[in-house]
Amino acid sequence: MDNASPAIHVRNLTKVYRTYQKEAGFWGAFKGLAHRRYKDTAAAKEVSFAVEEGELVGFLGPNGAGKTTVLKMLSGLLYPTSGEATVLGFTPWHRRNEFKRQFALILGQKNQLWWDLPASESLELNRVIYGIAPAEAQKTIDELTELLDVKDKLDVMVRELSLGERMKMELIAALLHRPRVLFLDEPTIGLDVVSQKKVREFLREYTVRHRITTLLTSHYMQDIEELCERVIIIDHGQVFFDGALQDIIDRLATHKIVTLSRRKGLPETDFASYGDVLEKSATEVRLKVPRRQIVAASRDLIAALEVDDFTVEDVPIEDIIREVFSSRQAA
């Protein structure tokens, strides 16, 4: 592979599923024997993007947007209907062994570990499959278990591990052969806050240390904010944004969140004249104020209310992305 080429290169990648449309009732089934009606659904439609070596890119979209379909095509699990893609110079769906040894796919809702065996035995099986020398595998396991703080869980039955511990073991199993490309589909789904934080810290440190090219999908926007500088947003199978995370925030964050408090209580004030009232108590109010009005509103509120505490924050990114998808669906 040419060192100047992107690690992942996708051009007009399309996946169309054809489903049989059956009419209701016995007569509908009978007619279907002679003349079947089909419906074509594009799970991915002319998707194009490139990811450079060592980049960690967020791949966002609502449920059914086509994210997992794209990841499965890039990992060779699905054949596209049309289009082209290369990962490390390989065409994924050709499934060459040289390619399989250089990538890993982690699906947050799928398990690769044997449920009734200790995690260490599943790792040993992976070691044999990939032909990794015992000393090299042990070195990798020692590094990963220390980073993820699960060294004492290696000999515990997988079914007895917590969800967070299982996901950490899944990560170790996926990284045992030291892949150069990592596809992560909802790796923190269902995890508690502490486990999510640990997994994020691990991914940030490990992918930078080893320059792993990573494509990450997640519904937890904190994953994206903490790990990704760049995001690709897909909806209805099509890419409609590809760029810096900060760019989409700057373009679409039309409001700021103002929080003010007054220990002796808030006076009777028409807070709605400053912006949308999100929350209000006897001593504190949170307002959603248009960005263009934030300076004037802040000045007037501070002058009028003699507040004890006053903060201005950006709208949470998950709210921005949610509004993007809602507006597209409405259109």
pLDDT means over runs of 10, the chain (331 residues): 77 87 67 71 91 93 85 94 95 93 84 87 92 94 91 92 89 93 88 86 91 90 88 88 85 84 86 89 90 89 86 78 66 55
The position carrying tokens 């250089």 is 102
> Domain holding 306: CATH number?
3.30.70.260
Inside any domain, residue 322: no
Overall number of domains in the chain: 2
Asked whether residue 229 falls in the same domain as residue 285, the answer is no
Asked whether residue 93 falls in the same domain as residue 214, the answer is yes
Asked whether residue 268 falls in the same domain as residue 299, the answer is yes
pLDDT in the model for residue 313: 84
Question: What residues does 266 pair with on adjacent strands?
Answer: none
> Domain holding 83: CATH number?
3.40.50.300
Asked whether residue 149 falls in the same domain as residue 285, the answer is no
Asked whether residue 288 falls in the same domain as residue 259, the answer is yes
Cα torsion angle, 257, 258, 264, 267, sign:
negative
CA distance linking residue 46 with residue 315, whole number of Å: 32
Asked whether residue 222 falls in the same domain as residue 260, the answer is no
Asked whether residue 174 falls in the same domain as residue 276, the answer is no
Coil, strand, or helix at residue 171? helix
Single residue among 250, 276, 305 that ends a domain in this structure: 250
Asked whether residue 260 falls in the same domain as residue 244, the answer is no
User: How many CA within 13 A on the CB side of residue 172?
Assistant: 32
pTM: 0.77
Which is nearest to 167 in space by CA: 128, 112, 102, 104?
112
Amino acid at 68: T
Inside any domain, residue 278: yes
Q: What is the DSSP string of 229-285?
A: SEEEEEETTEEEEEEEHHHHHHHH--EEEEEEE-TT---S--GGGTSEEEEE-SSEE
Asked whether residue 18 falls in the same domain as residue 164, the answer is yes
Inside any domain, residue 114: yes
Asked whether residue 139 falls in the same domain as residue 273, the answer is no
pLDDT in the model for residue 213: 95
Q: What is the DSSP string of 38-105?
A: EEEEEEEEEEEEEE-TT-EEEEE--TTSSHHHHHHHHTTSS--SEEEEEETTB-GGG--HHHHTTEEE
- Domain with 164, as residue range(s), is 8-250
Single residue among 200, 226, 250 that ends a domain in this structure: 250
Inside any domain, residue 1: no
pLDDT in the model for residue 236: 83
Inside any domain, residue 327: no
Inside any domain, residue 68: yes
Inside any domain, residue 325: no
Inside any domain, residue 320: no
Asked whether residue 17 falls in the same domain as residue 149, the answer is yes
Two structure tokens written together for 90? 């390989």
pLDDT in the model for residue 172: 93
CA distance linking residue 65 with residue 233, whole number of Å: 9
Asked whether residue 115 falls in the same domain as residue 142, the answer is yes
Single residue among 219, 250, 281 that ends a domain in this structure: 250
First to last CA, the chain: 43
> Strand 230-235 to strand 276-280: parallel, antiparallel, or no bridges (unpaired)?
unpaired
Two structure tokens written together for 21? 């449309």
